[in-house]
Amino acid sequence: MDPEMFLEVANQVTKLKMFPYFDIAHAVLCCLHVREDLGANTHPFSRRHPLTTWICCIFEIFAGGMLASLFLGEPVLSPLKSNQHLLLYTAVWYVIFYCPFDAGYKISKFLPVKLTFSVLKEIYRVKKVYDGVTHSLKIYPSGYLIALIIGTIKGNGAGFCKIFERLLRGVWTPGAIEILQPSFPTKACIAASLIFLLDKKTEFISAPHSLLYFGIVVFFVYFKISSILLGIHDPFAPFENIFCALCMGGLADAITRAFGGSPGSSPSSATQKPTPSSPTPSPDVSSEKKKD
């Protein structure tokens, strides 16, 4: 491809308008996640608790913006100010849960349709990460860690709010918190936030911003398609395993186990011999002789 044409494509990607198509894709996948998380209880729960399902879907759709507003000291409900978006997301919620013959859910689960929505959602995610980093740097110009956190939360707010969304449905799963088991979208959002931060505040990246933005979009889209079609869910896992083995004690623990010790035990406790138990007192021989 001609470099000028490639740069023009990158510029067009950075100027894409998210409303309404990208917002629809984001809302459809969020509603699908809520519905599939209900499992076999989907039909009876949605019929008995339609308000709860609507609140859960809206909460998941706006999770990134609401959580970022909470952390930045802004009104938490400010993402809900757009009535246009609320009406659009409500229509998506109704189609996914209550469409006649369940047609909305079945069409959304059809592989080509789901693949298209997933691609649009990843482009939408990169936009949210960039907006989060930019907005936080306007408030805290030197708050690099804040920009990293807000960019990650904006990109995958639903993952961080999953435990609260389930709590709205009466399910308490504290082990599902994103910090304990970070998913690939969270890791990718951290990496993207870091790259955007370096691009804005340092001179390490000399590439044009549009090319950098387009490259991150390609990365997100590529691995999302790989996850759906090939089952590659976490390409960061091999690098994490190597890093943990070299820098987080994994290699030392393996050496300790190889020499017969247990990881975490002190050297003194590993080499200390068990103290022999005191022998049981033998019967008094002299007394036995006196009895005889």
Contacts of 46-49 spanning 24+ positions with Cβ under 8 A: 46/97, 46/98, 49/169
State the total domains in the chain. 1
Cβ atoms within 10 Å, residue 117: 20
Look at residue 281 in the predicted model and tell me its pLDDT.
47
Rounded Cα–Cα distance for residues 195 and 186 (Å): 14
Note whether residue 71 is domain-resident.
Answer: yes
Which residues of the chain register pLDDT less than 50? 266-292
Which pLDDT belongs to residue 278? 45
CA distances from 43 to 39, 47, 98, 283 (A): 9, 6, 9, 78
Q: What is the pLDDT of residue 213?
A: 97
Task: Determine, yes or no, domain membership for 59.
Answer: yes
In a domain, 69, yes or no: yes
Predicted local distance difference test score (pLDDT) of residue 239: 87
The CA angle 26-32-37, to the nearest 5 degrees, is 130
On the CB side of 191, CA atoms within 13 Å amount to: 16
- Whether 254 maps to a domain, the answer reads no
Q: Which domain holds residue 37?
A: 15-240
Cα end-to-end distance, the chain, whole Å: 112
Domain assignment present for residue 248? The answer is: no
List CB contacts of 23: < 8 A, sequence separation 6 or more.
85, 88, 89, 124
Specify if 258 maps to a domain: no
Asked if the structure places residue 9 within a domain, the reply is no
CA 178 – CA 186 distance, rounded (Å): 8
Residue pair 108/25 in contact by the 8 Å Cβ criterion: no
Q: What is the pLDDT of residue 75?
A: 96
- The predicted structure's pLDDT at residue 81: 95
Q: Give domain status of residue 214, yes or no.
A: yes
